[in-house]
Structure formats: structure tokens, C-alpha cells
Structure 1
Amino acid sequence: MKPLVIKETNKTPRVVIDPTDGVIEIKGKSIPEDGSIFFNPILRELDRFGLNMPGNTRVNVQLEYFNTNSSKYIYQIFKKLEAMHRQDKPVQINWYYEQDDWDLQEAGEDYQSILKIPFKMIEIEGEEE
């Protein structure tokens, strides 16, 4: 199965789903005009990925910002991963947030509190301006 790679734009994050390496990456800004157009192909790919996933899967999420519509789709992605984890397919979510970005830290903590899946909060240094 070939990796899915979606390039980052000024409104959508870079997304990589690589079943060979067991890595899923979501990085950038997520403010698509129509969340379903952007996220539905990702959700479909995750369904296929779940059938072919390797022993362990690492999910690296490093968002700069995401809107309310995106948060609903991110939650759907996490619920699919949680279902895979319950089927003895280990999944680890790594939620990266910049130091002093309280909104992204809180969003990660909210997801962490409602999901039954290993979820690690990772603080990174912000970029110098």
C-alpha cells in the first residue's frame, strides 16, 4: 500500500499516512473552507490503513492552528485510531504544541481526556520571530 501524502497549503495541513513505516503525520494550519472535502479522503484512507497497519502506529500531530470544523474531523480521525487500538493494533498519538500556546495545549489535553488511547503531550520551543 502506497503512502498518502497531502501537501500543506496556507489553509490545510500536510498529511502523511504511511502504512509501511506505521506513521501518520498531520502538520500545519487547518482552516479549510469545506472540511468534508479535505478530511473525508483522509478518513477513507484510515479505513484502508486499519486493514493493513503494521504492529505499532505513531501519530504525530503538530498543528499551528485549527478551526472548529477541523476539530470535529480531527476527533473523527482519533476515534478511528482508538478503534484500531482496541483491536490490539497499538497506536500512540503524539500531540506537539508550542511553548506558551495555551489554546493548542488545552485542545490536546481535551482530546487526551476523552480518548482511550496512549496520548502524549509534547511541548516544543516556539519559533523566534
Structure 2
Amino acid sequence: MEDFYNPPDHFIPEIRFKAATGELNISGESFHEYSVEFYQPVFDWLHRFLEIPNKTITMNFKMTYFNTNTSRRFLEIFDLLEDYEKNKGGRVTVNWYYKAHDVDMKESGEEYMADTNLTINLIPYVS
């Protein structure tokens, strides 16, 4: 399976999914008005990637901003990963990076922790 890459641009994050290693990275800003359409190729790739059971996956989010529409897409990603872990023997770890002073981004990670049964690590960093 080929990797997935979407370069960052205004309103959209960098998305880099490495099939061989199971490392999935989303970083930057995401406030595209049409998030369903923008994220559809991401979901298409994830659905194909998650067909093979028992993978170890590390999902890294390093967002500086995202809007409500994107938040819904992220929750859908978490739902897919949670289902994969529950039903296909996968091992999923989510790393939620946030700038050490960014309380809102930390709280977003905490909300996802409360909404899923995934292992989510909150990791502050200094930029």
C-alpha cells in the first residue's frame, strides 16, 4: 500500500500517513470550509489501510488550530481507530501534541480522551 501525503496550505493541515510503519501524522491548521470533501481521501485511505488486522498504529496530532467541522472529522478518525482496535486486533496509540501554553488545544485533547476508549497521550511542547 502506498503512503498518503497532503501538503499543508492555507486552511489545510499537512497529512502524512506511512503505511509500512503505521505512523499517521496530521499537523498544522485545519479550517477548510468543506471539511467533509477535504477529508474524504483521508478516510478512503484509512479504510483500505485498516482492512489488514493486527497492525500497530501511532496517530500523531500536532494541530495549532482547527474548526468545529474539522473536530467532527477527527472524531470520525478516532471512531475508525477505536473500531479497528476493538474488532481487528489493532494496537492504537494517539499522541496529542499541544503548545505548552495552549490551554484550548490541551482541552481538545482531553475531550477526545473522554469521548473514546483509545490510549491518548497529551504531550506539551515548546515551539
Query: Is the shorter-chain TM-score for this pair beyond 0.5, marking a shared fold?
Result: yes
Answer yes or no: is 1:102 the counterpart of 2:103.
yes
User: Which amino acid in 2 is paired with 1:101?
Assistant: D
Partner of 2:124 in structure 1? 123
Partner of 1:26 in structure 2? 26
Change (3 A) 1:13 1:29: same
Indicate the SS of the match to 1:57. Answer: strand
Indicate the SS of the match to 1:88. Answer: coil
CA distance in 1, matches of 2:94, 2:79: 12
User: Which amino acid in 1 is paired with 2:80?
Assistant: K
Shift of 1:54: 6.3
For residues 53-103 of structure 1, the C-alpha deviation after alignment (integer angstroms, 9 at most, x for no partner) is 663110000000000010000100110011111121101000000011011
Shift of 1:41: 1.1
Shift of 1:122: 0.3
Calculate the aligned-residue CA RMSD, in Å.
1.2
* Aligned partners of 2:94 and 2:119 also within 8 Å: yes
Q: Which moved more, 1:33-42 or 1:68-77?
A: 33-42
Gaps of 5+ in 2: none
Gaps of 5+ in 1: none
* Aligned partners of 1:31 and 1:70 also within 8 Å: yes
- Structure 1 stretches of 4+ with a deviation exceeding 6 A read none
Aligned residues: 126
Partner of 2:72 in structure 1? 72
* Aligned partners of 2:54 and 2:89 also within 8 Å: no
CA distance in 2, matches of 1:113, 1:59: 17
Indicate the SS of the match to 1:32. Answer: coil
What's the TM-score once normalised by structure 1's chain length? 0.93
What's the TM-score once normalised by structure 2's chain length? 0.95
Indicate the SS of the match to 1:92. Answer: strand
* Aligned partners of 1:20 and 1:54 also within 8 Å: no
Partner of 1:112 in structure 2? 113
* Aligned partners of 1:62 and 1:95 also within 8 Å: yes
